[in-house]
């Protein structure tokens, strides 16, 4: 039928936000998409032509490293940072006082006409998001992540299952 993938295409995954409405899980979500941005883009093949992607604000990365904050305190502070939906991961609904939908939106999967490729990328993201639910902090990537981003991300996803 002549279908094509637009030059700026991206696949967005919407996931239940409820499990990430805890300070530890939210912090890990921010660490994953903040510190692991380059390996994520490399491993997933994120479309660099997609114009509505951006890194998470540095202030948000600093916020989640503060200890002993309640969920209400995290949300209030995060809203003050000025989050936008046009980031690699849309966290606006998580921290909203009145969310329109109860989701986390991962926006960095490349557009594809190949269903298998989309499912494989989604499976990697699912494993990483499950790791975010582990209360132990997600570490920063090491040198191996630059050499083998997919392998480093798979190791990171598996690290939560071993705990």
Phi, psi of 11 (to 5 degrees): -100, 135
Query: Can you read off the two tokens belonging to residue 113?
Result: 């006409």
Q: What pLDDT is stored for residue 46 in this prediction?
A: 96
Q: Please tell me the distance from the alpha carbon of residue 89 to that of residue 61, in angstroms, as a whole number.
A: 13
C-alpha to C-alpha distance for 141 and 125, rounded to whole angstroms: 16
163 pLDDT above the threshold of 50: no
Mean pLDDT of the chain: 94
What number is the average pLDDT over the span 36-52?
A: 95
Whether the Cβ atoms of residue 53 and residue 86 lie closer than 8 Å to each other: yes
pTM, full prediction: 0.94
Per-residue pLDDT tens for 72-130? Answer: 999 999 999 989 999 999 999 999 988 899 999 999 999 999 999 999 999 999 999 99
């Amino acid at each position: 039928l002549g279908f094509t993938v637009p030059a700026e295409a991206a696949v967005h995954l919407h996931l239940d936000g409820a499990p990430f409405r805890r300070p530890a899980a939210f912090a890990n979500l921010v660490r994953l998409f903040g510190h692991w941005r380059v390996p994520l883009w490399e491993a997933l093949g994120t479309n660099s032509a997609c114009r509505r992607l951006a890194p998470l604000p540095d202030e948000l990365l600093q916020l989640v490293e503060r200890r002993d904050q309640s969920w209400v305190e995290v949300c209030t502070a995060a809203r003050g940072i000025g989050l936008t939906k046009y980031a690699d991961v849309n966290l606006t609904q998580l921290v909203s006082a009145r969310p329109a939908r109860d989701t986390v939106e991962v926006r960095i999967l490349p557009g594809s006409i190949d269903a298998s490729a989309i499912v494989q990328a989604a499976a990697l993201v699912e494993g990483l998001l499950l790791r975010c639910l582990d209360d132990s902090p997600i570490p920063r990537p090491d040198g191996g992540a630059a050499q083998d981003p997919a392998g480093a991300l798979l190791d990171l996803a598996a690290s939560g299952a071993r705990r």
